[in-house]
A and B are shown apart, each in its own frame.
Chain A
Amino acid sequence: MTPTTYAALFAVGLVVLIAAFMIFSAYNAVIALQQRTDKAWANIDVALKQRFDQLPALVSAVRGLMAFEQGVLTEVTRARAAYAPTQPVPAQAAVSEQTSAAVRTLFATVERYPDIKSAENVASLQAEIERLEGIIADRRELYNDQVYRYNTRIRQSPTNLLASFFGWKPRDFFRATVADTVRPDVSLGSGEPA
């Protein structure tokens, strides 16, 4: 072989090296994205579970003092009971939104009862659940952002070729529903403030 042939082989080798690097990088990037998406979902799940655990305490704290607002409390209890961590993401998102809406309605109703609102245990439970609601909203945003990046990546070239080979599928968003944008209905319940 002539020196020029060696140089040509060097050039081909370099091109192959760069192509292999790009393929391995794309594969590793998708795996990392899957891991980040799973972690983002797990972090939402932790917050959902914490809210699930906190809600009975809040309902118990206000139940005796809100005798005329049983409908509001029942709605919170019903939404909480629908929590099912093994369900697909969209179903959990729907339940989460219903729970958030019921909690917002409960908080709005509590505003009409100064005695209840000023009770120390109610105030602290309310603050904790509001904190969890904020965390859930932030982490939902993070999860959806991560899913967006993952879905975009596996549809882009050349990763889409790897996606078809390895069977990578787009993930579901933790999608906000219309209920998330509806103002809480504070007229629920027929009673007057105690």
Chain B
Amino acid sequence: MSDTTSTTAAIPATATSRRPRNRALARFARHRLALFGLCAIVALVFGCAAGPYLIAYNDLHIDIMHRFALPFSGPHILGTDQLGRDMLARLMMAGRVSLTVGFAAMLLSTVFGTLIGTIAGYFGGIVGTALMRFVDAVLCFPTIFLLLALAAFVQPTLFSITLVIAATAWMEVARVVEAQIRTLRERDFALAAEALGASDAYIMFRELIPNAIAPIVVASTLNVARAILLESYVSFLGYGIQPPTPSWGNMLNNAQEFLVSAPWLAILPGLLITLAVTGFNFLGDGLRDALDPRLDI
């Protein structure tokens, strides 16, 4: 499980420009890891989106005569699996699924978490306490247990798995947003809007949330990483994306039985999961450095 809270990187903050935006950009650029993360994500997204059109093999084409072909040894660049399907084509198609689930689950959990966090932080009192205690209670369940309990009883489709992952990933966002909104609510601009007679909804959506966007962006970037990981866990355990639709997780599902004879079946999808998750974690961390006003000097 990725819990990437305290990993702020060690970059001495030497301000080069007076304009906050430039300064943020400069700090971001200095964060080479974040740039690496961004490059990895862009490469993976483009590779998985365009790649299948560029190679000669179809990911579902079974070729039993050429199964277990070694990587880098023949026409199949990354070898073939136990049914003779081209690994590269499968990895690309699986990447489409895994990345889509990751992004979609991030969007859902960010929207829901932001909504809950904003309502709790804005209204406070009993409503706020009740909502945040609910968040605490959900966090008592170990994520994978909750995820499996939910995933096992729904018809596993792309949409339902995304929904289930989002349902187990929104709490952190809610916590971050709640804390942010609670302090922003007391600031002069929010009080002014209230004094002018603006409605609760207006203050929340037009005044407070836009000012809390930086931590939301950071949390949601880290949430993509988490969602990709969760998808791989639940698919590996057999309750996620179902074959023949490949995902990086379910490609590993039966790789264990071929670990001795065909280790690349297990190693390649895992490497891509790690690359994607590392990319989003690096990016999120860099964004935190770039956007966190507490680092402003």
- Check if A and B associate: no
Interface of B with A (CB < 8 Å)? none
Interface of A with B (CB < 8 Å)? none
